Amino acid sequence: MSGPTTKLRQGDVVAKKYEVDSLIGEGPTGASYKARVMASGKMVCIKVLNGPPTPIPTATAMVQRIQSAKADALVALTDVGEHAGSLYVVSEHFEAESLRRLMDTYAGQRKSFSLQEACQIVVRALEAIESAHHAGLVHRHVKPGNILIQTTTVGPGKVVRTVKLVGLGVSELINPGTLAENMLESGDNRYMAPELTSPSAGGTVQTDLYSVGVIFYELLTGQTPMGTYLSPTQVREDLPNHVDDIVDIAIAAEAADRYPSARDMINDISRAFTDDDKPTATLPRKTIGMVVGGSVLVLGLIGGYFAMNDPAATAKKEDDSQRARIIRENPIDAGAMEAKVAGHPNMVYVPTGTLLRGRMRTENSSVAAATEPLATEKKVPGYYMDMFEYPNEVGGHATVNATRADATAGCATRGKRLCTALEWERACKGPEMTVYGYGNAFKAEACGTDPGGDKDQDGGLDRASGSQEGCKSGWGVYDLSGGALEWTADSASNTKFGVLKGGKRESAAQGTRCAYSLEFNATATNRAIGFRCCMSDDGSLPIDPNALPAVPVEGAPVVPAPAVP
């Protein structure tokens, strides 16, 4: 991460017009300073951008376009120039804290944003975005750090918040690589629409609306939607059903399925806050709340009646309720998780939290044996896990034909250990505690599974690690519900046997569930058996894999083996 190209100090004069007062903050995109306009004494903000400066005519034209997007909720830009070889932009000085800091404060106090607070913040941000879109500008990196909140106390227990959006145009004025590095290292890529390959690549109206949808979800639930996310009403019982539809539309995977404009999203949010919680029809829509008549209400009541008398619906409701409670009790600090994995290549960090270990109620006899115990709550300490099966390389191929001793030795040479079955299951189920690594319903195509099973027992190992984005858990670990069966550190009741997790392909709907376990002879080899490694959260540094000897099982010949039962 590079520092600012030019650093300013108190008393420095920029362009013979601005006297630097103090540093506001700095990051990979540049540094911001509080400064005084020498002619008037007015305070402004000067941001000195990193990297080679954009030509002044280009930068000036961009700032003029931004100035044309007039909105109270946009921080106004007033000037642009070059100082000591670096480009700078000048904006109004808005004394405020970022939404990111406010979110962190609420999380530290175990406090939730009310629906009213969340709606007001998001609507103001959308009004700023709407103005930018009308001027032909796309922000492309809307995030909590770019939303500023000024809080004024107006009476006992009453506050008024002024919300403004900053950062419009930065993606046009800064080196694309620097901006991408900033998003990835800070974890802000969570707010980036999936169609973007980088924060500077393309972008449409729907790109910005996706980011706002993620922020809205986070304001209401305390976490960003990862993988197969729970709807807001599953996490919080005090929200109207409208909110689920707003989130689903705003963060749809395909841009064409999102809101056509910021104004459409504003209108739906206004309904969510002002309307009664009326059921909506299941219709193709770009906005919700269009059909709320008596016939729809009757349909909702009929659906509710059958749900009460449907065992499957009851099981789903009980599972969702239990998941939602645990999610509320185990908030996720994504920023801390990002920081944890720095220096640990191709590993993810799974934080301390509660796991629903075992079979969920919805895992009925069609996919699970009746003898499998129902899920119970287990507290799991934080740990690191390899993103891919051993040798944990993007584009590599899983090492197979390994005994459990081979697997143990392989992990040890990397300064790691085998994962416990409990850790493996938590990594597979993700923060939403799904049945499979990718969701609650079996999808043969998600991990490349032939619905008829993998006849040659190779676990689909001909494909490269990380090649199937759909085969990734909510924690970011690949191939837990696909690929090879994996050795764990657990022993079976028969001490000659070890416990395998994941990957069983004879009956993929059953054997690729996160809760599924298989006991197998620890000294036997099989083409369908591999492993991956974990590391305890003890602060130890990873060992450089380039300085280690080869793993005993690498290059081992494939030998005939009995089919995995």
Residue 6 lies in a domain: no
Q: Which of 277, 302, 322 is the last residue of a domain?
A: 277
What's the average model confidence in pLDDT over 9-22? 93
* 163 has pLDDT over 50: yes
425 and 366 in a common domain: yes
Residue 310 lies in a domain: no
**Residues near 167 by Cβ (< 8 Å), separated by ≥ 6?**
139, 141, 142, 146
The C-alpha atoms of residue 353 and residue 378 are separated, in whole angstroms, by: 8
The C-alpha atoms of residue 324 and residue 288 are separated, in whole angstroms, by: 24
> Could you give the strand order of the β-sheet that contains 497-501, starting from the edge strand earlier in sequence?
517-521, 497-501, 485-491, 529-530
Q: Quick one: pLDDT at residue 197?
A: 61
* CATH code at position 451: 3.90.1580.10
Q: Quick one: pLDDT at residue 301?
A: 32
Computed over every residue of the chain, the mean pLDDT equals 79
> Could you give the strand order of the β-sheet that contains 383-386, starting from the edge strand earlier in sequence?
347-350, 383-386, 533-536, 417-418
421 and 272 in a common domain: no
Q: pLDDT by residue (tens digit) across 133-153?
A: 988 888 888 999 899 999 887
The C-alpha atoms of residue 478 and residue 513 are separated, in whole angstroms, by: 14
Q: Which of 277, 296, 316 is the last residue of a domain?
A: 277
The C-alpha atoms of residue 236 and residue 244 are separated, in whole angstroms, by: 11
Residue 123 lies in a domain: yes
382 and 236 in a common domain: no
Say which residue, 424 or 236, is predicted with more confidence.
424
* 287 has pLDDT over 80: no
268 and 348 in a common domain: no
Q: Which of 223, 247, 277 is the last residue of a domain?
A: 277
* 179 has pLDDT over 80: no
444 and 365 in a common domain: yes
Measured from the Cβ of residue 460, the count of other Cβ atoms closer than 10 Å reads: 22
109 and 43 in a common domain: no
DSSP 471: G
Spacing of C-alpha 497 from chain mean position: 37
Compute the half-sphere exposure of residue 195: CA atoms within 13 Å on the CB side of its CA.
Answer: 19
* H/E element, 23: strand 18-27
107 and 53 in a common domain: no
What's the average model confidence in pLDDT over 116-136? 91
120 and 54 in a common domain: no
The C-alpha atoms of residue 501 and residue 428 are separated, in whole angstroms, by: 10
| 298 CB burial (10 A radius; 0-12, 13-18, 19+) | exposed
**Residues near 322 by Cβ (< 8 Å), separated by ≥ 6?**
356, 375
* CATH code at position 238: 1.10.510.10
* CATH code at position 78: 3.30.200.20
Characterize 530-557 residue by residue with b for buried, 16 or more Cβ atoms within 10 angstroms of its Cβ, and e for exposed: bbbbbbeeeeeeeeebeeeeebebeeee
What's the average model confidence in pLDDT over 1-10? 68
Q: pLDDT by residue (tens digit) across 520-549?
A: 899 988 888 999 999 998 755 444 444 443
Q: 76 pLDDT band (50/70/90 cuts)?
A: confident
Backbone angles phi, psi at 12, to 5 degrees: -60, 145
Tokens of 481: 């519900």
Residue 302 lies in a domain: no
Query: Across-strand partners of 519?
Result: 499
* 97 has pLDDT over 50: yes
112 and 59 in a common domain: no
Please say whether the beta carbons of 455 and 479 come within 8 A.
no
Q: pLDDT by residue (tens digit) across 292-316?
A: 222 233 333 333 433 344 677 778 8
The C-alpha atoms of residue 515 and residue 435 are separated, in whole angstroms, by: 7
251 and 157 in a common domain: yes
CA–CA–CA angle 201, 147, 172 (5° rounding): 30
- 202, 446, 556, 558 from 398: Cα distances, Å: 36, 18, 12, 13
Characterize 512-525 residue by residue with b for buried, 16 or more Cβ atoms within 10 angstroms of its Cβ, and e for exposed: bbbbbbbbbebeeb
Q: Which of 188-202, 234-248, 296-310 has the lowest mean pLDDT?
A: 296-310
Q: 317 pLDDT band (50/70/90 cuts)?
A: confident
84 and 123 in a common domain: no
| 511 CB burial (10 A radius; 0-12, 13-18, 19+) | buried
Residue 565 lies in a domain: no
Tokens of 177: 């690589």
Residue 303 lies in a domain: no
Task: Catalogue the E-assigned strands of 70-223.
Answer: 77-83, 86-92, 97-98, 147-155, 158-165
* H/E element, 74: none
Query: Across-strand partners of 32?
Result: 25, 47
The C-alpha atoms of residue 452 and residue 457 are separated, in whole angstroms, by: 12
What's the average model confidence in pLDDT over 507-524? 87
Tell me the DSSP string of 407-443: HHHHHHTTT-EEPPHHHHHHHHHTTTT-SBTTBSS--
**Residues near 20 by Cβ (< 8 Å), separated by ≥ 6?**
8, 9, 10, 11, 12, 13, 14, 33, 34, 35, 46
Q: pLDDT by residue (tens digit) across 211-225?
A: 999 999 999 998 888
Tokens 């064409």 map to which residue?
Answer: 256
The C-alpha atoms of residue 87 and residue 147 are separated, in whole angstroms, by: 23
Q: Quick one: pLDDT at residue 470?
A: 82
- 217, 358, 447 from 320: Cα distances, Å: 17, 15, 24
Strands 417-418 and 485-491: unpaired
534 and 396 in a common domain: yes
Q: 181 pLDDT band (50/70/90 cuts)?
A: low
Q: How many domains does the chain have?
A: 3
Q: Which of 134-138, 154-158, 241-245 has the lowest mean pLDDT?
A: 154-158
Q: Quick one: pLDDT at residue 209?
A: 96
What is the residue range of 53's domain? 13-92
* 48 has pLDDT over 60: yes
Helices 205-221/242-250 angle, 10° precision = 140
Say which residue, 317 or 389, is predicted with more confidence.
389
Residue 402 lies in a domain: yes
Q: Quick one: pLDDT at residue 424?
A: 96
Residue 537 lies in a domain: yes
